[in-house]
Chain A
C-alpha cells in the first residue's frame, strides 16, 4: 500500500466519527472536554459556532453523531453526546458579550429570507455580522418554525427557544411577522440582492379512506393539530385517541394527547417494530407515558354512525418476504377499534403554490425545486433553498447545516464571487504532550456505562403540558459521562524517520491497533495485522518504510481508544498524540490549511 497521506484533512477527520457524522461538523470531543473542565461558556460558544442552537439541539437533536460514536465499537452504548450539549447550555453564564454583532458599517446589501425556522435563522446568524441587512418574512406571529409550532413544549421549553432565537434576531434582523409570502415574483421585484427560501415542508399528508369526510370534525392532521395545540387554539381531545403512523410526529402527537385529555391512546403501525421511523428514545418515552403501540394494523376505514366518528377498522396483517426480497403482507382478519378522535401522522410534503413556475426556478421530481447540494442555489442565480424546503423533511441540525452553506453562497453571490468557491476546513494538529507520561487530556479509559436521563414523574408531568420531562444530567452524571468520551480527536501521529522498531508501541497497545510488518496489498495486509482489520469502512494507516528494516508501521484506527500509551512508551517520540482542531469555515471566514 502507499503511505497514508495524513495531510489530507479528511483522514484524521474521519477518525472523529461524531464530528464527521454531524451535518454541521460540531467539534464534539473538544466541547465534551470543556464541559468536563466546567468551562460551560466555552463549550456553549464552540457549539454555537457550528450548530447555532445548542440549548434547543441539546434537547431535540436527531443526534446522527451518537450512532457514529466510536465508543460503540468497544461497548454497547455511545457517549450521551446530545445530553452533554444540554449540560453546557443549562449551565452557561451570560455569554451576550461573546455573541457576534452587526458591524456599524453596513454593506448595503439586502437579503430576504422566507420563513423564520432554523434554516433562515442560521442564514441571518451568519450574514448579519458581515454587514448584510436581512429581512425575514414569517407567516406566523412567532419565530422558530416547526421548533415552535410542532416540537411540544414538554420536550423544548419556550424559554430555551426564545433565548436562542433572540440571540440572532437581536443582532438586528428585521422579522416581519404575519407576513406570508404569496408570490415569489412579487418578492423578486422588491430588489433584494438574494433570496433564501426556508419555508419548510408545511403540508401534512392526509389519509383518504371511507368515512374521512363524514367524520372530519374528529380527524386531525398531525402537524396542524400540534400547531393548534402550541398556539392554544386546541385545548383538549377525547379520551380514546388513535394515532395513525409511527414516526416522530406520531410520538409527539400521542404524548401531547396524553396531556390534554387522552386516556386510552393507541399508536397504530402498519409494520413491525424494526421498521418504525421514530427514534428509539422517542418510542421509549411514549411507552413510558402508557401509550400503546400496536403493530401490523393497516387502516381501512373510519367508522361513522349517525354522522359521528365511532372508531376505525383495521386489517391485521402478517409480513413476509417474497422471492425478490420484497416485504409483502397477508391479511389475517379485520378488527374494529373504537375512538373519539383520530390523528393522522403519516408524513409531510413540500408545497410551493406561491412560487410561480416562470421565474426561472425549476422544479423536478416530486415537485421539489432543483437545488445544488453544495451551494444550495436553485436554477435561478441568487435564489437559495435550505432546510426542509430543499429536499423534504429532515431535521433541525440539517436545516442549520444548509443555512451555513447557503450563507456562504449568498455572501459569494453578493461579492461577485462564484458560489462554487467554498472555503476549505481550517486544520491544526496540536501536540498534547505535557511531559513524561503527562498529557493535556484525560487519557485514562473509563469503564462507566452510559448515564440514564432522569424524568419528571408521570403524575407531575401530566399536570401542565409545558412541564419539561427530561431533567438534564446532574453534576455526578455529567462527571461520569464526559469521561466515557474516547477523545477521538486526539490523533496518533507517526513520524517514520524516528522509529527504531523497538516494538514498544505495538506491545503496549491495549487494543492491538499497531503492527510493524512488511508492506503488502491492502486485503492481504489487513489480515496480517496484530488483530486483523475487519472493518472495511475504516481506513488503515500505513507509514513509509522504517529506517532500520524498511518494514512499515500499520495502524488500524478501528478500536483505538486514544489512551496515548503508544506515544508514552515510544523512546524516540515517533508517535505523538496531537489534537485535531478542525473548523468548517463559514461565510466571511477565509480558509487556510496548516499542519503542525
Chain B
C-alpha cells in the first residue's frame, strides 16, 4: 500500500482567489507506478485549476480505461467524475456537456484509449466542437495491459522486450488539426513550465481543446530504443511556440520585440500571448501549421507548444442553438412540456 499523503500544509502556501490552497485541488494518492509521466500531468492539472481559481464543484472529470484514465481520481477530489468504458469517454463528455453547459469539462485519455478503441468517438467530439479540455497522456504503449505498442508508437521504436514496431503512428495533433479542432497543443509531462500555461489556456478556451502530452511510461517504455522515453523526448523536443497565459483583468506587462508575439483574447477575456520560437510560424494559420508539423516530423523532431488556436468557431451549443440555461437547471415543465406541446411541434413537420 502506498503511504497516504500527509494531512499537513506548508505555512506559506497562498490561497487563490476563492480561498483554496493548491492542496485543496489534490485527489487521492496515486496508485500508478512511481515515476509515471501521468502523475506529472496530474500535478500540472492541479496547479492549473488552482491558479485559475476554478471552484472544484464546477469541474467534471471524465475518462475511459488505462493508466492515464485512472488519473482523474488523483486530482480535484471535490469535482464530479465519470469513469466510462474503454474509449467511450468522448460520448459521455458530449452528453454531460449537452445536459449541463455550466461545468468545466476535462477528459483524460491515453493513446490507446483515444487512438485505437476510442478513435471513432474522439473524432466526433472534435467535429462537434464539444467545449472541453481533452488530454491524451501519450506514452506509445498500453501501459495498463503491460506495454503493448499503441497506435502512437513510431515505426522502428523498440518494445522493452526488443521487438520493433512496424506500423506507422497516428499523430493526434495532425488528426485534430485536420478535423477542424479549434485548440491544438502538444507538450511534455517533464516540462510544467510549458504545460501549465497551455492547460490554463485550454481550460479557458471555448470549444474542443486537444492537448497531446508526451508522458513516458517509466515501466514499459522508458528504455533505450523507445521514442517516448524521458531521455528521447528531451533530446528531440522542439518548442515551436511558447505560450504565456494572462488571466482576464490582469495587466499584460511583458513586452515583446515586434513581430515575435501574437496575443489571442479568449472567450472569457483572458489572453494567451504566443511567442514564436520559429520566425515564420503562425499559430492561427491551419494550413501553415500542418505544413510545419509535417516538416518537423520529417526531421525527427517533436514539435511542441500551443500549436494552433482558432477562437472564432462556435461550439456544439452555439451550433445547436441550445438555451443558455443548462438543461440540468431548467424546471421540469420547461424541459418536458408534455404531449400536447409535442403534438404541436410534430404538426410543424407535416
Q: Is the CB of B1 within 8 A of A437?
A: yes
| Residue contact B8 to A507, C-beta cutoff 8 Å | no
Query: Is B339 among interface residues, defined by CB-CB distance under 8 A?
Result: no
Residues of A within 8 A of B222 (CB): 500
Judge whether A502 and B23 touch: CB under 8 Å.
no
Question: When A74-B11, A565-B3, A569-B34 are in contact, do A501 and B39 touch as well, CB less than 8 Å?
Answer: no
Docked complex: A462-498 residues within 8 A CB-CB of B: none
B-contact 0/1 string along A567-578, CB 8 Å cutoff: 011111000000
Residues of chain B at the chain A interface (Cβ within 8 Å): 1-13, 23, 30, 33-37, 39-40, 42-43, 189-190, 192, 216, 218, 222, 230-231, 234
Cβ–Cβ contact A508 & B5, under 8 A:
yes
Q: Could you say which residues of chain B place their CB within 8 Å of the CB of A534?
A: 12
CB closest chain-B residue, reference A573: B34
Which B-chain residue is minimally distant from A556 (CB atoms)? B10
Q: Is A510 an interface residue, CB under 8 A from the partner? A: yes
The residues of A that contact B189 with a CB separation of less than 8 Å are 502-503
Closest partner residue, chain A, to B233 (CB atom): A548
A positions within 8 Å CB-CB of B: 73-74, 437, 439, 443-445, 447, 500-504, 506-508, 510-512, 531-532, 534, 548-549, 559, 561, 563-565, 568-572
Q: A531-B13, A559-B11, A570-B35 are in contact. Are A507 and B42 (CB under 8 A)?
A: yes
- Name the CB-closest residue of A to B235: A548
Task: Point out the residues of chain B lying under 8 angstroms from A447, CB to CB.
Answer: 7-8
Asked if B230 and A500 make an inter-chain contact with CB atoms under 8 angstroms apart, the answer reads yes
Residues of A within 8 A of B13 (CB): 512, 531
The answer for the CA separation of A46 and B350 in the assembled complex, in Å, is 95
Q: A507-B43, A531-B10, A531-B13 are in contact. Are A500 and B5 (CB under 8 A)?
A: no
The interface residues of chain B lying within 8 Å CB-to-CB of A445 are 6-8
Contacts of A507 in B (CB 8 A): 39-40, 42-43
Q: Is the CB of B10 within 8 A of A443?
A: no
Contact call B34/A571, Cβ cutoff below 8 A? yes
Contacts of B231 in A (CB 8 A): 500, 548
CB distance B43 to A502 under 8 Å? no
Q: Contact: B10 with A501, CB < 8 Å?
A: no
Query: How many Å lie between the Cα of A512 and that of B234 in the bound state?
Result: 24
Contact B3 A564 (CB under 8 A): yes
Let me know if B6 and A502 touch, CB within 8 A. no
Please report the C-alpha to C-alpha distance between residue A572 and residue B222 in the assembled complex, in whole angstroms. 12
Q: Take A502-B37, A507-B39, A531-B10 as given contacts and tell me if A563 and B3 are in contact as well, using a CB distance cutoff of 8 Å.
A: yes
Q: For the complex, give the distance between the alpha carbons of A425 and B66 in Å.
A: 52
Most chain A C-beta atoms within 10 Å of own C-beta, residue among B5, B10, B33, B189? B10
Residues of B within 8 A of A437 (CB): 1-3
**Among B3, B23, B218, B231, residue most surrounded by chain A Cβ atoms (within 10 Å):** B3
Complex Cα distance, B224 from A46, in Å, reads 50
Bound Cα distance A508, B9 (Å): 13
Distance (Å) between the CB of A296 and the closest chain B CB? 35
* Closest-CB distance, A498 to chain B (whole angstroms): 11
- 28 cross-chain CB contacts under 8 A: A74-B11, A437-B2, A439-B3, A445-B8, A447-B7, A447-B8, A501-B190, A502-B40, A502-B218, A503-B190, A503-B192, A506-B43, A507-B42, A508-B30, A510-B5, A510-B23, A511-B8, A512-B10, A531-B10, A531-B12, A534-B12, A548-B234, A549-B234, A563-B3, A563-B5, A565-B5, A568-B3, A569-B34
Candidates B7, B39, B234; contact of A504 at CB < 8 Å: B39
The reply to whether B2 and A571 contact each other, CB–CB distance below 8 Å, is no
Within the assembled complex, what's the spacing in Å between the Cα atoms of A152 and B8? Answer: 41
Pick from B4, B9, B35: contact of A502, CB below 8 A.
B35
- Taken together as a complex, chains A and B put the C-alpha atoms of A563 and B8 apart, in Å, by 10
* A568 interface neighbour in B34, B43, B216, Cβ under 8 Å: B34
Nearest CB in chain B: distance from A561 CB, A: 6
Closest beta carbon of chain A to B337's beta carbon, Å:
50
Write out the residue numbers on chain A whose beta carbons fall within 8 Å of the beta carbon of B234. 501, 548-549
Say how far B5's CB is from chain A's closest CB, in angstroms. 6
Chain A min CB distance to B42 (Å): 7
Which residues of chain A are near B218, meaning CB under 8 Å? 500, 502, 571
Q: How far is the CA of A437 from the CA of B32 in the complex (A)?
A: 13
Evaluate contact between B12 and A571: CB separation under 8 angstroms: no
Q: How distant is A48 from chain B, measured CB to nearest CB, in Å?
A: 33
B3 touches A443 (CB 8 A): yes
Residue of B nearest to A572 (CB): B35
Q: How far is the CB of B194 from chain A (nearest CB, A)?
A: 13
Closest 4 A-B residue pairs measured CB to CB?
A: A571-B35, A445-B6, A507-B43, A502-B35
Most buried by A among B35, B36, B231: B35
Is B23 a contact of A500 with CB atoms below 8 Å?
no
A379 to chain B, nearest CB (A): 49
Chain A residues near B40 (CB-CB < 8 A): 502-504, 507
Q: How far is the CA of A174 from the CA of B105 in the complex (A)?
A: 83
Contact of B8 with A444 in the complex, beta carbons under 8 Å = no
- Distance between Cα atoms of A572 and B2 in the complex (Å): 16
Decide: B35 and A504 in contact? CB cutoff 8 A: yes
Query: A465 → chain B, closest Cβ, in Å?
Result: 44
Question: CA of A510 to CA of B29 in the docked complex: distance in angstroms?
Answer: 11
* A570 to B39 Cα, complex, angstroms: 12
Q: Which of A444, A503, A559, A570 contacts B43 (CB 8 A)?
A: A503
Report chain A residues within 8 Å CB of B36.
502, 504
List residues of chain B with CB within 8 A of the CB of A563.
Answer: 3, 5-6
Please name all residues of chain A whose beta carbon is closer than 8 Å to the beta carbon of B3 when the two chains form the complex: 437, 439, 443-444, 563-565, 568
Q: Please determine whether A500 and B35 come into contact, CB atoms closer than 8 angstroms.
A: yes
A511 touches B10 (CB 8 A): yes
- CB-CB under 8 A from A501, the residues of chain B are 190, 230, 234
Of B6, B9, B230, B231, chain A has the most CB atoms within 10 Å of the CB of B6
Q: Which of A445, A503, A534, A570 has the most CB of B within 10 A?
A: A503
